[in-house]
Structure 1
Amino acid sequence: MKTLQVYDPALCCSSGVCGVDVDQTLVDFAADLNWLKQQGVAVTRFNLAQQPLAFAQEAAVKAALDAGGAEALPVLLVDGQLRGQGRYPSRAELAQWLALTPEALPVAPAACCSGSRCC
């Protein structure tokens, strides 16, 4: 089974998708992680604010933090190997790293209103 470990910066909650000012990048990334889980990938997320010991215990993450500080986060490991840091990857990148075929995010349906006429 393929694995993905995500070492997030300090977020308000485990997913970072909370509060009134939600970051769309985190929303998209959360959807991508759910998609990966549906593809059979074991996904584990670590939040610096809630699990700092996990960051210190993983050599690649500790090295990234030592070199770049908090700007190095998030750090992403695929099967234990460093694959990305400093930004959240797209679904296409995740799929490539894990040898999966990317599936597009669902598109929100367009409004049915046309001019002054609504259905």
Structure 2
Amino acid sequence: MSRVEIFDPAMCCSTGVCGPSTDPELTRFASAVFSLEKKGLDIKRYQLTIEPDKFAENSHVSKVLHEKGPDSLPIILVNDQIAKIGEYPSNKELASWFDVKAEELNEKPRVRLSLNIKKQ
């Protein structure tokens, strides 16, 4: 079973839907990660702004950041080995690492909102 770790650049959220414009690549990737997590597979994301210690603790990530700087992010590790630098993996790559079908990674997270509006 594969273990994948994603070391994201500094950003306000991992979905790409915050801020003035939506990044379709981040949205695609967040949906794929959601689908893999829902299956109980070992995939973790770390954001530089939230968990800088994870970046410093990992010798592979720390070395890349020292040599190439923060523009090298995201850094993707598969089973503790660097698999990609500077771009997110495709759904096909994720599927091959976890031995699932790429089509299984297209599920979108659903958020249910509940509003309690009181008349005044």
**TM over 0.5, yes or no?**
yes
Q: Which runs of 5+ in 1 are unaligned?
A: 107-119
RMSD across aligned C-alpha pairs, in angstroms?
Answer: 1.9
- Aligned partners of 1:2 and 1:40 also within 8 Å: no
Q: How far apart are the structure 1 equivalents of 2:44 and 2:15?
A: 11
Q: How far apart are the structure 2 equivalents of 1:45 and 1:77?
A: 10
SS in 2 for 1:37: helix
Alignment of 1:74-93 (within 5 A): 74-93=74-93
Residue 50, structure 1, aligned to residue 61, structure 2: no
SS in 1 for 2:103: coil
Equivalent pairs counted in the alignment come to: 106
Tell me which structure has the larger Cα radius of gyration: 1
Tell me which residue corresponds to 2:22: 22
- For residues 22-57 of structure 1, give each alpha carbon's deviation from its aligned partner in whole angstroms, at most 9, with x where no partner exists: 211110000110122234322211111111111010
- For residues 45-102 of structure 1, give each alpha carbon's deviation from its aligned partner in whole angstroms, at most 9, with x where no partner exists: 1111111111010011011111211121001111212111101111001112333332
- Aligned partners of 2:14 and 2:30 also within 8 Å: no
Identity of aligned residues (%): 37
Compute the displacement of 1:16 (Å). 4.3
- Aligned partners of 2:2 and 2:97 also within 8 Å: no
Amino acid at match of 1:29: F
Amino acid at match of 2:47: N
Q: Which runs of 5+ in 2 are unaligned?
A: 108-120
What TM-score, normalized to structure 2?
A: 0.77
What TM-score, normalized to structure 1?
A: 0.77
Amino acid at match of 1:12: C
